[in-house]
Amino acid sequence: MPHFERDGVKLYYEDHGEGPAVLLTHGFGATAEMWAGQVEAFRDRYRIVAWDMRGHGRTDYPEDQGLYSEDHTVADIAALLDHCGIERAVVGGLSLGGYAALGFHIEYPERTRALIICDTGPGFRKDESRQAWNERTIRRAEKYEIEGLSTQRASAEVDASSHRSAEGLVRAACGMLTQRDSAVIDSLPGIEVPSIVIVGANDTNFLVSSDYMAAKIPGAVKVVIPDAGHGANIDQPEAFNQAMGSFLDGLPN
């Protein structure tokens, strides 16, 4: 299985196909496996790169809590592109992965050809809302500490068997799923690259945030996938791939 190393942490990745590069990041509790349907659909004309974030799947689970953060995730994406020899890519993700894609664009706008933002939100401008999110996230981490992987909520995109233990998810929740400021939501009006916001019609937790992002990102395309939940690409792969393919095929060279 291919890995690359950044500052002593080995990260698992997959590199499929040839053509313009598309890098996809999974959501919390998932792995690169959740993108298998997109790899199969697009590898004939695009280079699809997917990976496992820290504390997930086949990537390392560092014991140091300080090695889990939004900054580390963004730096890992940049290092993965470097490792693959990719200067500029379409950067996308689902849920936490979509938030990471937006964070990557803040730091590396010149390396972001376009954005694919799926079933996610841009964070919070109000401190009290962010604090409430973080408190829920810490409670989720504490449940993992007590119950292990058995607490993993069954869903289309998440498979508890993909992880070696719950320890990595505990640290990832505390360091990567928690949010520190309003930088991502504040960045939306300044996004100048083509962007698509995709959300499942039944993903009630992210419908409002998807509307907000589509309204704030200049020129953004919004697609609602019928009969799909939080894992829209897995619940309705044909409709998702049609939306993603139409967006990719329409990008300027």
- The b/e string for 165-196 (b: 16+ C-beta within 10 A; e otherwise) is ebbbbbbbbbbbbbbeebebbebbeebebbbb
Please give the tally of structural domains in the chain: 1
Question: Per the structure block, which two tokens stand in for 190?
Answer: 């300044």
Task: Provide mean pLDDT across the span 7-35.
Answer: 96
Range of the domain at 8: 3-249
Give me the torsion for CA of 191, 242, 201, 109, rounded to 10°: -10
Report whether pLDDT(158) > 80: no
- CATH assignment of the domain containing 225: 3.40.50.1820
Parallel, antiparallel, or unpaired: how do β-strands 195-200 and 89-94 relate?
Answer: unpaired
End-to-end CA distance of the chain: 32
Model confidence at 161, pLDDT cuts 50, 70, 90, reads low
d(CA 246, CA 244): 6
pLDDT at 146: 80
Q: What is the share, in percent, of the chain residues with pLDDT greater than 90?
A: 89
pLDDT at 149: 74
Mean pLDDT score across all residues of the chain: 94
Q: Give the HSE-up count for residue 239: Cα atoms under 13 Å, Cβ half-sphere.
A: 16
Report whether pLDDT(157) > 80: no
